[in-house]
């Protein structure tokens, strides 16, 4: 084989191509089966992880880090990949069945064959005279044997290279490191991974899945709720005024979005439509319907936005949940709008590309019109989503600062392992990473290092964050201030429609692996609410028991209950404390909006 | 040497259009070789041999457009895939890959040498719906 030499910077570049493949992390589910963890990388806070090191890819990576090597590690990895997919590729070639099945087989065939061949063609100038290239080229010509000769050559070659370099890598100064960090509000702390460091284990710390006692913080919140109920009992308007002040910023933003929407409809799209009128009948026919559909979607969005704005402006206690649901619906509308605008833009550009020359004179005008519309809609949808996230931030109690890769430093207890010493796998019990709460994060980093005076480097080959939540059924106990509305009749000795009361709710939820928004913000749950009421206003507490549905980290609750002493049914609307940082007691008027926003 | 899997387009435009249309309609994975140059004459028999391979029941074929002046009219029978059909310059291209829906998916530049590796890649890129 003809040797040739590759510059070190190419090997460093090559390392980045196998960034996420050297380390593979999977999770054991409740049935003790291994499952893949994909975006958004949510794992069970009390779970178990299987960490696997792909020694073949690690070897490719280490070979690539050496100054001199037979072939670039990128090509080695592509050969490795092609060999892994060999069986699937060969099977796809012989697929029979429906046309759809055979077309899918073509995709598999292409996925298995294309990456390496693309590389070889791209580097044909350098590789064409190598024996490897010549052998492979000859093998492909043996069409009577299909692609078996091709894979045989790949196999032989890969075996030869890795055998030759395994010994070299084992003796070289290139090492592998793997570390993990638990990131909480207090910062990041490294934790022990068996086989990769000598960090002391923190022992097993279980985060209870089901609340079996009332936390002290919730006892304190209950007492606050009791004092608030007493002070606001005859003055519920204070709370509504407070909520309106809080919502005033949101209303201003919604008005801005409304104005921009009108601009898109009255200017952007109108310009596109009038320009469209100048094109041929066939083009007009093609675009009329998609433009009308987009206009309809924009108008629908405008109508829904107006409803939300009106509800926020005239907010009442029993409308808060409706607003939350409408806001969620608007998120989906914004997402759909973006997609429709993108599709229309693509239609226009495809059509322009295929248009006869006579229509080319309109090309730049049409394209720029629809490009402007698309950009405006995209910005609008993004702005609305950002505004919503900012408003929802109050429901996210977490103040965790994201850990960056450069800030994640290995300790002196982390092993720098030679190739032969790297364990192929290890198990991590998440309960041993340290004191943690729902929403905390763990990070993993793997690097290739060489501590050498002339050729030192430190290259990250794996970096991944995982968020910790309860997966599946879990529960919590929350204190909240409820607004009870008797189903039949009024409260004694008062004209109030609502009675304020402190309560506890035991809420059951199901944690998700699929959605960060669901786990961090929306968090729907069902549970039982127990409150201390006084429907007959005789200062003797009555126990109310009801069913409640909770949303947004239990900050909003709605339910139905029964006063066990007076046998009255009631609707309840609940607010978890502390709400918007409003935890003071004996309040008779709402704090100023400035003070609220600073909380 | 017989090219059993190759359709050589006639020089006459009207006939070439008919042959080309018929070739595109027969649901085969296709590559089109341009010109009568040294590289085209090297590519054609290699591609013809590679066209013997059947993948997932789909056959392959080679369409050889020796007279590249035909391209100006014949390209309207093709659609834009990964590549824009109007961007193809037959003087700078050894061959192009045509998908089963007659879209242009890949072009092998004349800067490359046609061999079994480059032409296999051309067929692989044509192997799509």
Kindly determine whether residue B55 and residue A121, on different chains, have CB atoms separated by under 8 Å: no
What is the spatial distance between Cα A190 and Cα A169, in angstroms, rounded to a whole number?
A: 28
Of A410, A501, A484, A398, the closest CA to residue A447 belongs to A410
What share of chain A in percent tops pLDDT 70? 73
- Verify whether the Cβ–Cβ distance B127 to A110 is below 8 Å: yes
**8 A C-beta contact, residue A479 and residue A221:** yes
Find chain A residues with C-beta within 8 A of B75's C-beta.
none
Contact A397, A185 (CB under 8 A): no
Residues A4, A154: Cα–Cα separation, whole Å: 19
Residue after which a domain boundary falls, among A421, A440, A469: A469
Look at residue A321 in the predicted model and tell me its pLDDT. Answer: 54
User: Is B82 an 8 Å CB contact of chain A?
Assistant: no
Q: Edge-to-edge strands of the sheet including B103-109?
A: B6-8, B60-65, B29-34, B93-98, B103-109, B79-80
Statement: residue A14 has pLDDT above 50: no
CATH of the domain at A269: 1.20.120
A366 pLDDT band, cuts 50/70/90, is: low
* Residues of A in Cβ contact (< 8 Å) with B121: 114, 117-118, 121
Looking at beta carbons, which residues of chain B come within 8 Å of A117? 117, 120-121, 124
Q: Is-cis flag, bond preceding A276, omega within 30?
A: no
CB contact under 8 A, B56 and A137: no
Does residue A541 sit in the same domain as residue A419? no
Test the B interface: residue of A82, A94, A99, A106 with most B CBs within 10 Å: A106
d(C-alpha A243, C-alpha A580), whole Å: 10
DSSP state, B58? Answer: B
- Is A354 domain-assigned? yes
- Rounded to an integer, the average pLDDT of A299-327 is 68
Rounded (10°) angle between helices B116-126 and A131-140: 50
CA A87 vs CA A64, A375, B66: distances in Å: 27, 46, 39
- A333 and A477 fall within a common domain: no
What is the spatial distance between Cα A566 and Cα A562, in angstroms, rounded to a whole number? 8
**Pair (A247, A360) in one structural domain:** yes
Residues A472, A484: Cα–Cα separation, whole Å = 31
| Contact between residue A288 and residue A294 where contact means Cβ atoms under 8 Å apart | no
Please provide the distance, in angstroms rounded to a whole number, between the alpha carbons at the two ends of chain B.
32
What's the rounded Cα separation, in Å, for the pair A351 and A346?
8
Give kind and range of the element (H or E) at residue A287: helix A281-313
A121 contacts in chain B (CB < 8 Å) = 108, 112, 117-118, 121
Instruction: Verify that A323 and A378 share a domain, yes or no.
Output: yes
What would the two tokens of residue A496 be?
A: 């109030």
Collapsing DSSP to helix, strand or coil, A451 comes out as: coil
Q: What is the largest CA-CA distance in chain B?
A: 35
- Judge if A484 and A421 occupy the same domain: no
Whether residue A177 sits in one domain with residue A46: yes
A362 shares its domain with A487? no
**Neighbouring residues of A435: CB distance < 8 A, sequence distance ≥ 6:** A184, A202, A205
Task: List, in sequence order, every residue forming a beta bridge with A559; answer none if it has no partner.
Answer: A548, A572
Condensed to tens digits (0 to 9), the pLDDT of residues A206-262 reads: 999 998 888 898 898 888 888 878 777 666 666 666 666 656 666 666 677 677 777
**In this structure, is residue A479 part of a structural domain?**
yes
Query: Would you place residue A315 in the very low, low, confident or very high pLDDT band (cuts 50, 70, 90)?
Result: low
Residue A352, pLDDT score: 59
DSSP states of A409-423: PPPTTB--B-GGGS-
What is the helix, strand, coil percentage profile of chain A, to 5?
50, 20, 30
- Separation of first and last alpha carbons in chain A: 70
Alpha carbon distances (Å) from A56 to A8, A34, A74, A83, A518:
21, 21, 13, 12, 38
CA distances A556 to A331, A349, A486, Å, are 19, 47, 19
Residue A440 DSSP SS3: coil
Closest CA to B123 of A11, A109, A591, A156: A109
Scanning B13-52 for CB atoms below 8 A from A yields 46, 49-50, 52
- Separation CA B11–CA A398 (nearest Å): 74
Domains of chain B by residue range: 6-126
> Which residues in chain B have Cβ-Cβ distances shorter than 8 Å to A353?
80, 84, 86
3-state secondary structure of A551: strand
Chain A contact for B127, CB < 8 A? yes
Q: Is A508 helix (H, G, I), strand (E, B) or coil?
A: strand
- Whether residues A247 and A318 share a domain: the answer is yes
Q: Is A473 helix (H, G, I), strand (E, B) or coil?
A: strand
Strand-strand pairing, A472-486 and A568-576: antiparallel
- Answer whether residue A279 shows pLDDT above 80: no
Contact partners, residue A395, CB within 8 Å, separation at least 6: A521, A552, A553, A555
**Which residues in chain A have their CB less than 8 angstroms from residue B28's CB?**
none
Neighbour count for residue B116 (Cβ, 10 Å) = 20
Tokens 């763990």, residue located? A442
**In the prediction, which pLDDT does A324 show?**
57
Residues A251 and A190 in one domain: no
Separation between Cα atoms, residue A254 and residue A251, nearest integer Å: 5
Specify if A167 maps to a domain: yes
A153-162, A482-491, A553-562: range with lowest mean pLDDT: A482-491
**Helix (H) or strand (E) run with residue A326 in it:** helix A320-354
Best residue of B29, B56, B58, B78 to probe chain A, by most A CBs closer than 10 Å = B56
- Asked if the model's pLDDT at residue A186 lies above 90, the reply is no
When mean pLDDT is compared across A118-127, A447-456, B19-28, B88-97, the lowest value belongs to: A447-456
The total of structural domains in chain A comes to 4
State whether B116 and A102 contact (CB < 8 Å): no
Q: What angle do CA A71, A77, A82 make, to 5 degrees?
A: 115
Residue A16's pLDDT is 37
User: What pLDDT, in 10s, does the model give residues B39-80?
Assistant: 999 999 999 999 999 999 999 999 999 999 999 999 999 999
**pLDDT score of A582:** 45
Rg of the Cα atoms in chain B: 13
The pLDDT of residue A330: 66
Name chain A contacts of B116, Cβ cutoff 8 Å.
137-138, 140-141
Give the model's confidence band at A578: pLDDT under 50 very low, under 70 low, under 90 confident, else very high.
low
ipTM score of complex: 0.95
CA dihedral A400, A404, A410, A414 (to 10 degrees): 80
The pLDDT of residue A6 = 32
Rg (CA), chain A: 32
Between A352 and A115, name the one with better pLDDT: A115
Instruction: Write out chain A residues lying below 8 Å of B128, CB-based.
Output: 103, 106-107, 110
| A94 and B CB contact within 8 Å | yes
Does B87 contact A at CB distance below 8 Å?
Answer: no
Asked if the structure places residue A163 within a domain, the reply is yes
Decide yes or no: CATH 3.65.10.10 for domain B6-126: no
Query: A16 in a domain, yes or no?
Result: no
Say whether both A178 and A51 belong to one domain: yes
Token code pair at residue A470: 């309860």
Nearest to A135 by CA among A272, A249, A2, A265: A2
Q: Choose the weakest-confidence range: A5-14, A292-301, A305-314, B49-58.
A: A5-14
Q: Would you say residue A381 lies in a domain? A: yes
Least confident of A95-99, A113-117, A224-228, A469-473: A224-228
Q: Looking at chain B from residue 90 to 109, which residues have their Cβ under 8 Å from any Cβ of chain A? A: 100, 108
Bigger pLDDT: A278 vs A414: A414
Half-sphere exposure for A509 (CA within 13 Å, toward CB): 27
If you average pLDDT over residues A531-559, what whole number do you get? 89
Residues 6+ apart with CB under 8 A from A119: A74, A75, A78
Contacts of residue A4, defined as CB under 8 A and 6 or more positions apart, other chains included, come to A126, A130
Mean pLDDT, chain A, whole residue set = 79
Burial label, A26 (beta-carbon count in 10 A; 0-12, 13-18, 19+): middle
Q: In Å, what is the CA distance from B124 to each residue of A389, A538, B103?
A: 46, 85, 14
| Residue that has been written with the tokens 């697929």 in this structure | A95
* CATH code at position A447: 2.60.40
Look at residue A263 and tell me whether its pLDDT is greater than 80. Answer: no
Domain that holds residue A129: 67-171
Q: Are residues A449 and A369 in the same domain?
A: no
Asked whether the predicted pLDDT for residue A585 surpasses 60, the reply is no
């Amino acid at each position: 084989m003809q040797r040739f030499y590759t510059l070190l910077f190419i090997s460093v570049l090559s390392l980045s191509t196998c960034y996420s493949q050297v380390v593979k992390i999977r999770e054991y589910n409740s049935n003790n089966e291994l499952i893949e963890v994909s975006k958004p990388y949510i794992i069970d806070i009390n779970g178990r992880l299987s960490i696997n090191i792909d020694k073949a890819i690690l070897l490719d990576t280490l070979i690539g880090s050496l100054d001199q090597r037979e072939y670039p590690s990128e090509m080695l990895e592509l050969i490795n990949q092609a060999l892994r997919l060999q069986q699937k590729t060969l099977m796809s070639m012989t697929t029979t069945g429906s046309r759809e099945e055979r077309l899918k087989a073509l995709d598999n065939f292409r996925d298995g064959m294309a990456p390496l061949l693309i590389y070889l063609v791209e580097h044909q100038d350098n590789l064409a005279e190598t024996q490897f290239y010549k052998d492979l080229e000859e093998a492909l010509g043996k069409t009577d044997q299909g692609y078996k000769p091709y894979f045989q050559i790949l196999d032989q070659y890969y075996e030869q290279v890795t055998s030759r370099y395994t010994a070299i890598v084992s003796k070289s100064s290139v090492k592998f490191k793997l570390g993990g960090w638990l990131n909480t509000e207090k910062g990041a702390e490294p934790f022990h991974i068996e086989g990769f460091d000598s960090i002391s284990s923190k022992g097993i710390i279980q985060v209870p899945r089901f609340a079996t006692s009332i936390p002290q913080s919730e006892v304190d919140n209950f007492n606050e709720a009791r004092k608030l109920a007493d002070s606001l009992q005859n003055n519920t308007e204070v709370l509504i005024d407070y909520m309106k002040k809080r919502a005033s910023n949101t209303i201003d933003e919604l008005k801005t979005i409304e104005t921009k929407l009108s601009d898109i409809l009255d200017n952007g799209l109108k310009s596109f439509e009038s320009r469209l009128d100048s094109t041929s009948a066939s083009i007009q026919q093609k675009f009329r319907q998609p433009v009308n559909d987009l206009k309809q979607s924009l108008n629908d969005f405008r109508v829904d936005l107006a409803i939300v704005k009106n509800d926020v402006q005239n907010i009442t206690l029993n409308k808060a949940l409706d607003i939350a649901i409408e806001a969620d619906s608007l998120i989906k509308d914004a997402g759909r709008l973006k997609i429709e605008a993108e599709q229309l833009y693509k239609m226009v550009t495809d059509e322009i590309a295929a248009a006869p020359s006579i229509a080319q004179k309109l090309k730049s005008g049409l394209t720029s019109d629809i490009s402007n519309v698309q950009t405006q809609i995209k910005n609008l949808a993004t702005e609305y989503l950002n505004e919503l996230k900012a408003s929802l931030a109050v429901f996210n109690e977490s103040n965790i600062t994201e850990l960056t890769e450069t800030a994640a430093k290995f300790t002196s207890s982390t092993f720098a392992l030679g190739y032969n010493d790297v364990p192929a796998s290890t198990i991590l019990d998440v309960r041993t990473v340290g004191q943690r709460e729902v929403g905390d994060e763990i990070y993993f980093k793997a690097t290739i290092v060489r501590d050498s005076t002339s050729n030192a480097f430190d290259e990250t080959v794996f970096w991944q964050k995982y968020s910790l939540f309860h997966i599946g059924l879990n529960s919590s106990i929350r204190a909240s201030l409820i607004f009870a509305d008797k189903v039949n009749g009024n409260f004694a000795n008062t004209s109030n429609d609502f009675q304020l009361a402190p309560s506890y709710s035991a809420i059951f939820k199901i944690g998700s692996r699929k959605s960060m928004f669901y786990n961090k913000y929306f968090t729907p749950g069902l549970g039982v609410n127990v409150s201390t009421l006084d429907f007959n206003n005789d200062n003797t507490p009555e126990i109310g028991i009801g069913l409640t549905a909770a949303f947004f980290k239990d900050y909003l609750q709605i339910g139905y209950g029964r006063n066990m002493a007076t046998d009255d049914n009631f609707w309840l609307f609940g607010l978890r404390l502390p709400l918007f940082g409003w935890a003071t007691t004996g309040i008779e008027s709402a704090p100023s909006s400035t003070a609220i926003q600073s909380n | 040497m017989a090219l059993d899997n190759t359709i050589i387009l006639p020089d006459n435009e009207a006939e070439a259009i008919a042959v080309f249309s018929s070739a595109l309609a027969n649901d085969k994975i296709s590559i089109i070789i341009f010109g009568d140059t040294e590289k085209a004459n090297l590519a054609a028999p290699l591609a013809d041999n590679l066209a013997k391979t059947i993948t997932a029941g789909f056959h392959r074929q080679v369409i050889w457009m020796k007279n590249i002046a035909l391209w100006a009219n014949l390209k309207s029978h093709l659609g834009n895939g990964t590549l824009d059909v109007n961007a193809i310059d037959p003087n700078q291209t050894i061959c192009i890959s045509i998908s089963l829906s007659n879209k242009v998916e890949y072009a092998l530049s004349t800067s490359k040498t046609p061999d079994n590796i480059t032409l296999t890649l051309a067929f692989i890129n044509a192997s799509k719906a």
